[in-house]
Amino acid sequence: MTRRGLAVVGLAALVACGGGGTGYGVFSTNWNDDDGKSIDEVEKKLAGVPIPLGADVAVGVAGHGSRLVGAPLAGGSRWSFAHAIDARPVVAGGVVVGSGGNEVFAVDALTGKLLWHLPTGGLALHGAGDDGTVSVVTMSRAAGRGSTLLAVAHDGMVLRQIDPSVSLGAPAVVNRIAFVPWDNQYVSALDVTDGAEVGRLLLREKTSHAWTSGGALYFGELGLFRFDAKIKNASRGGADHVALPAKALPGHPVLFQPGDRAVAASSGAADKVRLYARPTAPTEVLAIADGRFYATYFRLLYGLTVSPRAALSWVHTHADAIVGGAAAAGGFIACDEAGKVTTFDAGTGATLGGVIDLGEPVESCVVSADGLRATGAPHDALPLVEQIRVALADRDLELGAGQALLLRELGELPDEAGTAVLLGLATDPHLAATVREDVRAALATRRSGAPAMIAALGKHYDFLHDVLVPPPVAPLARALLAMNIPSAAPALARHLFDPADTDEDVRDVALALATLAGPSEVPDLLRFFALYRDAPEAPEAIPQAVGAVAEAIVRLGGAPGRAAIDAAIRQPATNATVRAKLTALLEAASVQRAAPSIKPSSTSRE
Amino acid sequence: MRRAVWKLGGAAILAGVVASVSDARAAGEAKGGGVFPAASLAKLKSDDPAVVRAALDDARLAGVGASAAIPAIGALLKSGLSYPLAEAAIDTLAELEPRDNSPFVPYALHRVPKVRVAAIRALAKTPSGPGMATAASVLQAALRDPDVLVRGTAATGLGALKAIAAVPDLFLALDRHVYEAASSIGELCNPAECAMLTARIGSVPFDVITTGLEPMLFRPDAQVREDVKVAIVTKVRDVGTREANKFLANLQRRWSKTGSAAVKRALDAGVIATSSSPGGA
């Protein structure tokens, strides 16, 4: 075996020469699907082998890429390791693998103690696995297609180097068998002792990551495949598989970035807008643990249900952007730009226990929470509506799209408190215009909270008392109409004559009154009709409003109402759109009067 | 009769506001009119907006002599008019000084700001009588309007209507840069309110505050005490600018010989004290 410290580029003697269980060269593209035979043999061989849990740790890149800082999550001292960092470090098993300064290196994840380092000639790390004795590292070549794989013992001995022309993903190692995804569809099982490819797996879904979690091995990128007795059926779609439910989330976050390329040492938008999930224990049916997955949007952290559909369960507004994290059993661990690590309860979003401090701001952060269970005294356990209110009150423009999601969710919540929150936001003079539009849209979809809506309609623009944002009249009118609340009619009718209301407000009020108005609104309806029946064509909302008011007059106004309609039809100045509407209304009323009454048929029940 | 009513607009029937032609004539005669020709009166009932507009022009030219047209124009307004005609009808009717200001009231909340301004201006001309309270109430409400011109017109109108109950709201308006409120406050304020206005010297632009101080100084001593007026002059003097000097000098020239001697002395002293003040042209 080669001693530590040898240049990676000079390890030709250890390059695998192929052979083994697949019968083809390592990473050969001439391989024919063996219907799972070879990978089934590997699975059977490893079935009784325990997979050690990985370290529970948060590791940040700090000092402008000059050091790693780490903190054990289950207690222990934080550590710092000075080394140039040129790619995102990887927590693999009990080690942290990093690259930079023309080296690849590994440190103990819980102490930061250097385990080994090797020259690379500048290759950038993009994946690593570790089984407790051997680390397997994949790296990108400086230019062109192809990757380098290294298998390194913890004592620094290089066990294997392979330089295939294909792009390798992020590997995992179990009992010295490396599982290496490549070409987005294969996972090759390599015996790092002799370099043989002992099995291969063909997956029908984009796959560039292999990792261990909770004592089991998984592959995936879009979804998760479990390495178990069913893995042999993968090419036929029969492997254990789970994916996150579809949900339109701000920034289109993904569970994994592609595993076949290096990720920058500093975090970017893709790190701040991410999905996180964890599979159930290997003894259980494969599913998403705790029934929750998590999404970040800069400073917002969403907890989402998995079934029966992806729905917002909770939201937390964080002080700083979340740049890394991990789903743990019972919760989520978030690492932020300030270098603070916080635990959240999976069910409520309450913060659990204390905050772990990496000691300084970080440029990026990776978190591993394999055996950790999220526990601790809960803080800030607020109802979802209140959590949303807090998130929406944040003035950070960067959160706009994330807040839009919350408004949509708020619109769908059945409890009346949601209406109250939306009403408060709608009249907040400091609210961004785009958010205000989202608030109005959400209010229009509400189907609860009618008393609060009617009370809100009772408020009007008042320059003297600095009420400079009128209530969201049009959305409230639409919601009250949809809920069929006749008691809203008096409040709605007063908005026919509020000059601070928009033309669209007035139109929607009139449309609501066409159905909701009662006899007590007739004088207001007639007054509005008289004032605006000859309104100009533009803005078109006003003639539309007059038409709707006329509908109510026909319904409620009796003979005097009919006379008003007749007179308007004859008046040359009457708006053409209004006249057409009036004519149609009278014709419809005439047809209704002329229709014979229908006697119950002899077979109908009395 | 039914057909004539239709020509005026159906809503008029409902409101029961359409006066008959004979009623109109009676009203005109009662006011000593009669120069407004019957033909023009008939034009007011035309279906053609251009003809109605011409009739309104006739009435405006005839002035108070067209008082016979008052009921007809009032009925036109109550039946509903298109935007430009509504404004013209309001202006015309206001010039005819009707006793009944109710035709203007709905237009104070019209969606077109120009129409609201016209209605508020018309209501501000309401003569003494039962309509004043309504007019003051409508104008006070108009101080809350979203349109700056409407608010300013209302603030001015409240002074004309002697709406003393509106002074607190006028202060709210003044503090929100409705500068027309200063003049009305000066005309209407009680001693405490006058002191509040005086206290705003320095915080409200000088050319604005003086529009309120001036009427205060010329109000009878029974309404604004002599010592209050002297205090106002002293406070303006203390401003010590060229504008303050010009204001005091202007008051000094116009001060009545029968007016308060103490105020006159204060003005004289103030003009001298500010004669070499800096600023301004």
For residue B277, the model assigns a pLDDT of: 78
Task: Name which of A461, A497, A533 is nearest B80 (Cβ-Cβ).
Answer: A533
pTM: 0.72
Does the distance separating the beta carbons of A506 and B111 come in below 8 Å?
A: yes
pLDDT confidence tier of residue A176, bands split at 50, 70 and 90: very high
pLDDT confidence tier of residue B150, bands split at 50, 70 and 90: very high
Tokens of residue B131, six digits: 């309509």
Measured torsion, CA atoms of residues B154, B159, B165, B170, in degrees rounded to the nearest 10? 60
ipTM: 0.85
Residue of A395 and A79 predicted with greater confidence: A79
Phi-psi category of A353—alpha, beta or left, where left has phi over 0 and alpha has psi -120 to 50?
A: left
Q: Would you say A458 and A467 are in contact if contact means Cβ atoms under 8 Å apart?
A: no
Report the gap between the CA of A461 and the closest CA in chain B (Å). Answer: 7
Tell me whether residue A593 is exposed, middle or buried, using C-beta atoms within 10 angstroms of its C-beta: 0 to 12, 13 to 18, 19 or more. Answer: exposed
pLDDT confidence tier of residue A127, bands split at 50, 70 and 90: very high
Which H helix or E strand runs over A6? Answer: none
Least confident piece of the model among A535-549, B40-54, B148-162? B40-54
* Cα–Cα distance measured from residue A87 to residue A232, given in angstroms and rounded to the nearest whole number: 34
Instruction: Find tokens 């020509």 and name the residue.
Output: B7
Chain A residues with beta carbon closer than 8 angstroms to that of B14: 526, 557, 560-561, 563-564
For residue B4, the model assigns a pLDDT of: 30
* Cα–Cα distance measured from residue A319 to residue A304, given in angstroms and rounded to the nearest whole number: 20
Q: Could you tell me the CA-to-CA distances from A364 to A59, A97, A411, B176 in Å, in that order?
A: 8, 15, 35, 50
Tokens of residue A6, six digits: 């040898």
**At residue A6, does pLDDT exceed 90?**
no
Q: Using alpha carbons, select from A450, A468, A548, A466 the residue that is nearest to residue A506.
A: A548
For residue A2, the model assigns a pLDDT of: 45
Residue A66, Cβ neighbours under 10 Å: how many?
14
Does the distance separating the beta carbons of A529 and B106 come in below 8 Å?
A: no
For residue B67, the model assigns a pLDDT of: 87
Q: Using alpha carbons, select from A208, A212, A220 the residue that is nearest to residue A258.
A: A208
- Give the residue from chain A lying closest to B155, CA to CA: A464
Q: Would you say A471 and A456 are in contact if contact means Cβ atoms under 8 Å apart?
A: yes
For residue B31, the model assigns a pLDDT of: 44
Cα A273 to chain centroid distance, Å, stands at 8
**At residue A602, does pLDDT exceed 80?**
no
Least confident piece of the model among A81-95, A143-157, A211-225, B23-37? B23-37
* Cα–Cα distance measured from residue B181 to residue B184, given in angstroms and rounded to the nearest whole number: 5
DSSP class per residue in A175-214: TTEEEEEETTTEEEEEETTT--EEEEEE-SS-EEEEEEET
**At residue A605, does pLDDT exceed 60?**
no
β-bridge mates for residue A219, sequence order: A210, A225
For residue A21, the model assigns a pLDDT of: 60
For residue B19, the model assigns a pLDDT of: 34
Tell me: the pLDDT tens digits for A196-241? 999 999 999 999 999 999 999 999 999 999 999 999 999 999 999 9
Does the distance separating the beta carbons of B11 and A529 come in below 8 Å?
A: yes
Q: Average per-residue pLDDT in chain B?
A: 86
* Cα–Cα distance measured from residue B190 to residue B137, given in angstroms and rounded to the nearest whole number: 19
**How much is the average pLDDT of A480-496?**
98
- Give the residue from chain B lying closest to A534, CA to CA: B82
Report the gap between the CA of B4 and the closest CA in chain A (Å). Answer: 11
**At residue B13, does pLDDT exceed 60?**
no
**How much is the average pLDDT of A15-24?**
52
Q: Is the dihedral of CA A332, A336, A339, A342 positive or negative?
A: negative
Tell me: the pLDDT tens digits for A520-562? 999 999 999 999 998 888 889 999 999 999 999 999 999 999 9
Q: Would you say B77 and B93 are in contact if contact means Cβ atoms under 8 Å apart?
A: yes
Does the distance separating the beta carbons of A560 and B109 come in below 8 Å?
A: no
Tell me: the pLDDT tens digits for B164-192? 999 999 999 999 999 999 999 999 999 99
Q: Average per-residue pLDDT in chain A?
A: 91
Instruction: Find tokens 């699975």 and name the residue.
Output: A43
Q: Would you say A282 and A53 are in contact if contact means Cβ atoms under 8 Å apart?
A: no
Strands A292-297 and A300-305: antiparallel
Least confident piece of the model among A208-217, A271-280, A490-499, B270-279? B270-279
**At residue A473, does pLDDT exceed 50?**
yes
**How much is the average pLDDT of A22-48?**
89
Instruction: Find tokens 């409520």 and name the residue.
Output: A348
Tokens of residue B206, six digits: 């000088």
Tell me: the pLDDT tens digits for B76-99? 999 888 778 999 999 999 999 899
**At residue B29, does pLDDT exceed 50?**
no
Q: Would you say A62 and A358 are in contact if contact means Cβ atoms under 8 Å apart?
A: yes
Q: Would you say B178 and B159 are in contact if contact means Cβ atoms under 8 Å apart?
A: no
**At residue A5, does pLDDT exceed 70?**
no
**How much is the average pLDDT of A385-411?**
90
Q: How many contacts (CB atoms, under 8 Å) link A and B?
A: 100
DSSP 8-state assignment for residue A50: -
Residue B245, Cβ neighbours under 10 Å: how many?
23
What is the percentage of chain A residues whose pLDDT exceeds 70?
A: 94
| A414: amino acid identity, one letter | P
Least confident piece of the model among A96-110, A356-370, A390-404, B233-247? A390-404
Integer-rounded Cα Rg, in Å, for chain B is 23
| B206: amino acid identity, one letter | F
Does the distance separating the beta carbons of B82 and A535 come in below 8 Å?
A: yes
Test the A interface: residue of B7, B14, B112 with most A CBs within 10 Å? B14
Residue of A603 and A509 predicted with greater confidence: A509
Residue of B41 and A209 predicted with greater confidence: A209
What is the percentage of chain A residues whose pLDDT exceeds 90?
A: 77
Q: Is the peptide bond before A282 cis (omega within 30 degrees of 0)?
A: no
**At residue A164, does pLDDT exceed 50?**
yes
For residue B32, the model assigns a pLDDT of: 42
Test the B interface: residue of A463, A494, A582 with most B CBs within 10 Å? A463
